[in-house]
Amino acid sequence: MQKSDILIIGGGIAGLAAALTASKFGNVTIITKSKIGDTATQKAQGGIAAAIDEKFDSTQYHFEDTIEAGAGLCDEEAVRILVNEGVTRVKELIEMGAQFDKAETEGGGKFSLTLEGAHKRRRILHAGDATGKEIEKTLAYEVMKQDNISVHPQTLGIDLLIIDNNCAGAKALDLKTNKIETYLAKATILATGGMCQIYLYTTNPKVATGDGIAMAYRAGAQIVDMEFIQFHPTSLLQLKQFEDIIALPQFLISEAVRGEGGILLNIKGERFMEKYHNQCELAPRDIVARAIFDEIKKTKTNYVNLQLSQIGADKIKRRFPVIYKTCMERGLDITKDNIPVAPAAHYAMGGIKTDTNGRTNIESLFAAGECSSLGIHGANRLASNSLLDGLVFGHRSALKASEKIKNKLLSPRVNEEQNRNAFFTDEEIHQFTLAIKINMWQKVGILRSGNDLKDALDKIKNIEDKMAFTPSTKQEIETKNMAQVAALICCGAIDRQESRGAHYRTDFPQRNDKNWKKHLTYNIMDKK
Ligand code: SIN
């Protein structure tokens, strides 16, 4: 049994930022199912948005762009905190040593700031096209220096320990020893990241199976806005067969490429974004993703082209070294060749409902980063706001969670002795996962209809029912979590009978503020 003041589940930007803040007040344990660095943060290319250029930008402009992208569902107070405190948190990150690209010319301020979809000002700090990696490295280095933070990699949270609506920690599976461990803490912060591995095509790493959201849901936490899944418009077309791409993330071609002048062409060579939005390639992400989907259908193919050659070979190589190298390895010289791209599931706007201090409806349980939802992103996240979200609200939840350190540790009765045999074979679990991914992609994707959604929910509920036992292996735990979060997305998407932001219903194509300018919240108690 492990005891600490604060338990943090997850090792991406929100978890690490929370750990650093919490370590100023007490001892901290981080558990992560893979290792620090195997996270969506690490893969984030584009950058981190913050209004640090006081001459050409302001937090008010950043606020307005975030609200506009969010399609009527942003929480204004949360967005104000994000854009205002975000500037301070980013400056701290720079003081810790994060190296963001510097401006090459006068007029851009000290840092080179780029544009992405729906930003009206250049405000995105970047480190080449590996911004997340630079941030993760900086925070991880600081975390490793703290004697009172202990990191437990290869440890998968199974369930939260709840006594009278109070979280006492979590039960976790040590993947190295296959033993169940109990982690007791005075406060627990979920920072487990996203869930887009439930889709066949996704930019998310293998670890993004919605574990934190599913754990919180089973524990009685409120889950909100699940129907809003953001599809990134441009992931590199995956040429392999279905089976090969299970869990394999699609390689992202950052929106910053379009911010620097990249344009989209359909396979007939026609530039098409002017037809869809006056911001063309830099329209909000949901609009670009749907436009690409439309062009793909019209031209009876499975991709459109992203043309970069006009940016110039030197700038491409300097500004996008990872994209250049990865495409080159796949036989594409992007200084000359077009990149075949298609949308892929990228980010969950919904998740565990929290207030602006990361508090959930369960006492001593907090959530931050992609697994949480406090209305910053509304129905459609503004590009490069997610790293900022993790940084700002990781910090804020840790501040609030640290107030619990004066409390006594609760001691729930935990049965660590459990049958460690798998219930299902690997092949059976693989088939369940595949069925979830295919159903979610085909029926709960970019375009949705009531009939398709109900059909997907039936199929996913069937899998959820089959997984209604205490899972023993990593595969069983993850598949159970995936089925639960997928079912919640289907429920939200069925219930929301309108189109808004990333949620598009072909049978209800209009936004309907009169009936639907509200959040849909689910709780396991409602199900019973
Ligand atoms: C990108 O680089 O296009 C992704 C940035 C984001 O998702 O915010």
| pLDDT score for 248 | 61
Beta bridge partners, 505, equal 448, 508
Inter-residue contact 7 to 182 (CB < 8 Å): no
Q: Percent of the chain scored above 90 by pLDDT?
A: 86
Mutate which of 116, 123, 264, 391 for ligand 1 pocket (most atoms within 8 A of beta carbon): 116
219-228, 277-286, 413-422, range with greatest mean pLDDT: 219-228
- Between the CA of 383 and the centroid of ligand 1 the distance, in Å, is 5
Please state the pTM of the whole predicted model. 0.95
pLDDT given at position 503: 98
What letter represents residue 209's amino acid? T
Distance of CA 301 to the CA centre of its chain: 28
Please state, in angstroms and rounded to a whole number, the distance separating the CA atoms of residues 211 and 225: 17
* Residue 319 placed within a domain: yes
Specify if 268 maps to a domain. Answer: yes
**Structural domain ending residue among the three candidates 286, 318, 343:** 343
Average pLDDT, the chain: 93
Question: Average pLDDT for residues 168-172, to the nearest whole number?
Answer: 97
Report the candidate in 213, 238, 179, 260 with the shortest Cα–Cα distance to residue 365. 213
318: β partners: none
- Ligand 1 within 6 A of CB of 255: yes
Please tell me the predicted confidence (pLDDT) of residue 271: 97
pLDDT category at 39 given cuts 50, 70, 90 is confident
- pLDDT surpassing 80 at residue 419: no
Q: How far is the CA of 384 from the centre of ligand 1 (A)?
A: 5
Q: Is 104 part of a structural domain of the chain?
A: no
Active-site residues, by number, are 285
* Identity at 498, one-letter amino acid code: E
| 243 and 338 part of one domain | yes
Of the candidates 290, 325, 343, which is a domain's last residue? 343
Cβ of 390 below 6 Å from ligand 1: no
Q: What total number of domains does the chain contain?
A: 2
Q: Which atom in ligand 1 lies closest to the alpha carbon of residue 386? A: 8
Q: What pLDDT is attached to residue 244?
A: 47
Residue 418 has pLDDT above 90, yes or no: no
Q: Is 254 in the pocket of ligand 1 (CB under 6 A)?
A: yes
Task: Quote the tokens at residue 402.
Answer: 């640290």
Q: What is the CATH number of the domain that holds 286?
A: 3.90.700.10
**Which of 84, 119, 160, 138 lies closest to 356 in space, CA to CA?**
84
Best mutation site among 101, 376, 384, 391 for ligand 1, i.e. most ligand atoms within 8 A of its Cβ?
384
pLDDT (0 to 100) of residue 109: 53
Q: Is residue 190 part of a domain?
A: no
Domain stops at, among 293, 324, 343: 343
d(CA 228, CA 360): 20
Q: What is the pLDDT of residue 412?
A: 83
Smallest CA-to-CA distance from 219 within 168, 157, 180, 165 is with 165
Name the residue of 255, 257, 347, 387 whose CB sits within 8 Å of the most ligand 1 atoms, as the mutation to test its pocket: 255
Structural domain including 273 reads 235-343
Band (523; pLDDT cuts 50, 70, 90): very high
Distance CA 92, CA 150 (A): 23
Cα-to-centroid distance, 230 and ligand 1 (Å): 11
